[in-house]
Structure 1
Amino acid sequence: MGTALITHEACLGHVTPEGHPEQVARLEHVLAALEPLELLRRAAVPASEDDILLVHPAAYLARLRAAAPEAGYHRIDGDTWLSPGTVAAACRAAGSAVQAVDMVLAGEAGNVFCAVRPPGHHAERQTAMGFCLFGNAAIAARHALERHGLSRVAVVDFDVHHGNGTQDLLWDEPRALVITSQQWPLWPGSGAASERGGHDNVLNLPLEPHSGGAEMRAAWGDLALPRLRDFAPELIVISAGFDAHADDPLAELNWRTDDFRWVTRQICAVAAECCSGRVVSTLEGGYDLNALARATRAHVEELMRAAG
């Protein structure tokens, strides 16, 4: 079946002020890195209002739409901005995650990578933050549970910043397991090992500043991967952030490209054991453009290897 790539030019229409790390060039570099690969390419469909309401209330969506500027920028928190194309881009990003779930569960692709922006894992139920508007990974999980009737979905997140939004949105969902590794302490300040979810369904793996791939591999090998196997998910959703790379300017972990390749391979191995390899991956952070491009390509190459 192979690996599918879902993206859309609308995601280039989310423009941030000059100097902002979550910039249009991020997606441009990712797409250029993936261009030579033999992928099943699909255009992202926009999320419907019902898709977004799987995790966010209608009032929140209405506030975002009302705040969207007709020109220029509108700042909605310390580092999250709206431009005229932002809400459309965010709807395509969320919609791609729903579309990816549909594709893997229908057998149209072995796994899927969503090359989209803005990212999503910091968006809480009624709060946009950390460059994120909608909880893309959480929407994918809830879509699989509510509309496809799955009993167990895992969301795994290796972004350097804790996926506080995903944790918030799935905290009380016993059918979802959330596993995240992140530098700690670091913004947004959540992600302690003591945060375990409403049903013991959250596993946080704090990693010390300046630690590298060896520490990450130990944490994932000793804790995350056994927990994931024990949960026996019917689908795995990956929040694929690449800002733990040593070259990234926004944090202090020292992963290399091969570390992203390794963690992807391990997640896919669990997926092969538990759920016929069904994986949906969506782009989160990564702010050194060259490191982002290299690490994303390694990640997608591992998805391709797993999908055969």
Structure 2
Amino acid sequence: MNPFTWEAAQHAAGAACAAVDDICRGDFKKAFCEVRPPGHHAHRDHSGGFCFLNNAAVAALHAIGQYGLKRVAIADFDVHHADGTCNILGGREDVLILDGFQQALFPYAHIHHAPPNAIYSPFPEGTEGIALRRTMDEVWVPKLLEYKPELLIVSAGFDAHREEDQAQLLMVERDYAFLGRRFSWILEEIPECRGIAAVLEGGYNISSLARSCAAFIMQFASTEK
């Protein structure tokens, strides 16, 4: 932390809420919040893993409380398990959590069970992008089409890139482009969904983070499957 951390954390959570406002008012269908600090390790009662306020969870609760949404989905593809998101939103019938992460890595999701409203998709060390793509098409997309969320929040972490040194997955830019394209397509396939708010999570190699964000956003902005 530094003297500016708390202010930055409030702005990050506020940006996620502003994206929900813009979507629920009908101003936009998609938003990408390029924020720091990230949020998905922040629990209801403590910080963790560089996270102080859980931006995605705050945005979901804002959508439910302010706009009365009954079904909000959160899809998290950061390399680390979204322990804070599951702590805050686990067990709720109005939230679905899809969480892909590296197995046996901080914060060690393998030591506890997923809440009933969460689907964990763990990947072993050395996993390449084809496994992530297969999980998206065979697990996440069918579940989202079945759930029909009124809002989709994406915890977009890019620290599974092969150039990152905090983890050992081997994703590259085209994998993140694939995810952006699929999320955009899902929005077109679910009439009940008002929009998608993507919130930046991890990503610590500045070069691969920039390239991965650009690849994701370019496809996220498209309507092509």
Identify the TM-score tier after normalising by the shorter chain.
over 0.9
Secondary structure of the residue that 1:100 maps to in structure 2? helix
1:204 is matched with 120
Q: For each residue in 1:246-286, what CA deviation from the matched residue of structure 2 results, as whole angstroms up to 9, or x when unmatched?
A: 11111000011000010121122112211456000110001
1:183 is matched with 102
2:85 aligns with one of 149, 160, 166:
166
Letter in 2 for 1:196: A
1:241 aligns with one of 143, 146, 157:
157
Q: RMSD across aligned C-alpha pairs, in angstroms?
A: 1.5
Return the alpha-carbon distance in structure 1 between the equivalents of residues 88 and 189 of structure 2: 27
Identity %: 36
Superposition TM-score, scaled by structure 2 size: 0.95
2:223 is matched with 306
Gaps in structure 1 of 5+ consecutive residues: 1-81
Q: Does 1:272 align with 2:191?
A: no
1:232 is matched with 148
2:201 is matched with 284
1:132 is matched with 51
Q: Which has the higher contact order (CA 8 A, sep 6+)?
A: 2
Gaps in structure 2 of 5+ consecutive residues: none
Letter in 2 for 1:245: H
Return the alpha-carbon distance in structure 2 between the equivalents of residues 115 and 288 of structure 1: 15
Q: Which runs of 4+ in 1 moved over 3 A?
A: none
Return the alpha-carbon distance in structure 1 between the equivalents of residues 198 and 136 of structure 2: 18
Q: For each residue in 1:24-82, what CA deviation from the matched residue of structure 2 results, as whole angstroms up to 9, or x when unmatched?
A: xxxxxxxxxxxxxxxxxxxxxxxxxxxxxxxxxxxxxxxxxxxxxxxxxxxxxxxxxx2
Secondary structure of the residue that 1:305 maps to in structure 2? coil
**Residue 211 to residue 260, structure 1, CA distance change in 2 (3 Å):** same
Return the alpha-carbon distance in structure 1 between the equivalents of residues 89 and 110 of structure 2: 14
Contact kept in structure 2, 1:164 and 1:190, CA below 8 Å? yes
1:238 Cα deviation after fit: 0.4
Q: For each residue in 1:115-165, what CA deviation from the matched residue of structure 2 results, as whole angstroms up to 9, or x when unmatched?
A: 110000000111101000001000111111111011100000000001111
Q: Does 1:143 align with 2:59?
A: no
Superposition TM-score, scaled by structure 1 size: 0.70
Return the alpha-carbon distance in structure 2 between the equivalents of residues 156 and 297 of structure 1: 19
1:212-227 to 2 correspondences below 5 Å = 212-227=128-143
